[in-house]
Chain A
């Protein structure tokens, strides 16, 4: 028993255990997604996060300790963003032909994401710091946090809202767009990328490669658009 306890304390302090558990939780989440017949509401990220959060809570492990191991996975977000150049390049001709609808959808999606979030929060009586924090939530995390700092938001709160937005977008996109009878993969992917950044883009890649490429484009374009739109929307609501 003491051996086991010693082994646990050895493992729980190093990166090996938490890296393994991160991959295991994701494998379980992905298996659930496949078993469900690839249902959008059976989201592999959400399942993995729930498993890991419960594990940390049950074992009384601090997030910082967990992150020692998980950082190796987290680090790959940067290289993955660079790798998005491949689907963009593969679809360059189609993107060029769709330039006008892409720009129109970017403005519509980005303004709607920012203005409706701030408007709903303001009507429901949220304070100014929270309003500033929610305004850039559809942009990819590093950009959203940068914008939040500039417009007087709380960066940690923004980070939470950004991830929530991504998971919501990944879960609702398929049923919502089916209900609206929008079948164009370009439109579907782009809208998801604009509204719910990388997590939405990851979901789009699960469904269709064209949707994935357009989602990656939407995410990159909305990072720029939100930087301009969020301060204007906040100024209108202050």
Chain B
């Protein structure tokens, strides 16, 4: 477990370094993820080595958003007089985006025959 955690952190560290070196609009951990993906592709044994830790963290992904969520409650006042308006815009646009993304995926998958087996 400590070895797997070390590898995970080193990938993130390398990702942070890459994010500062190249001017792409991506945060360090996303580069770390791409790096990890490359390592997975290189070695099947490495996948088995990382699996317990990665699955353990991802199974509890929701938990990790709790501290930021608590911070939002304290900042709800920053929404100011336009709070209701902004919340309406967030709710409607998020529903529209989910519907549009899923519907377009299904339509294009049908057109191109990209079915899932």
B18 at the binding interface (Cβ < 8 Å): no
Interfacial chain A residues near B27, Cβ < 8 Å = 81, 140, 142-143, 146, 223
Of B36, B87, B92, the most chain A CB neighbours within 10 A belong to: B36
What is the CB-to-nearest-CB distance from B66 to chain A, in angstroms, rounded to a whole number? 5
Q: Identify which of B58, B76, B114 contacts A83 (C-beta below 8 A).
A: B58
B1 at the binding interface (Cβ < 8 Å): no
A206 to B60, CA, bound (A): 9
A130 to B27, CA, bound (A): 23
A52 to B82, CA, bound (A): 25
A83 to B60, CA, bound (A): 12
What is the CB-to-nearest-CB distance from A139 to chain B, in angstroms, rounded to a whole number? 9
In the complex, which residues 67-108 of chain B have their Cβ closer than 8 Å to any Cβ of chain A? 67-76, 78-79, 82, 85-108
Task: Say whether A163 contacts B68, CB under 8 Å.
Answer: yes
Of B26, B41, B47, B86, the most chain A CB neighbours within 10 A belong to: B86
In the complex, which residues 36-82 of chain B have their Cβ closer than 8 Å to any Cβ of chain A? 36-37, 40-41, 47, 50-51, 53-55, 57-59, 61-76, 78-79, 82
Interface size counted on chain A using CB atoms at 8 A: 113
A positions within 8 Å CB-CB of B: 22-23, 25-26, 30, 44-46, 48-49, 52-53, 56, 63, 66-67, 70-71, 73-74, 76-89, 92, 94, 97-102, 104-110, 112-113, 116-117, 120-121, 124-127, 130, 134, 137-138, 140-143, 146-147, 154, 156-157, 159-161, 163-169, 172-173, 176-177, 180, 182, 184-188, 190-192, 194-196, 198-199, 201-203, 205-206, 210, 212, 218, 220, 223-224, 227
Additional A-B contact list (8), CB under 8 Å, known A45-B63, A220-B30 = A26-B63, A80-B61, A83-B8, A105-B101, A126-B82, A156-B75, A160-B75, A184-B116
B positions within 8 Å CB-CB of A: 5, 8-9, 11-12, 15, 24-30, 32-37, 40-41, 47, 50-51, 53-55, 57-59, 61-76, 78-79, 82, 85-109, 112, 114, 116
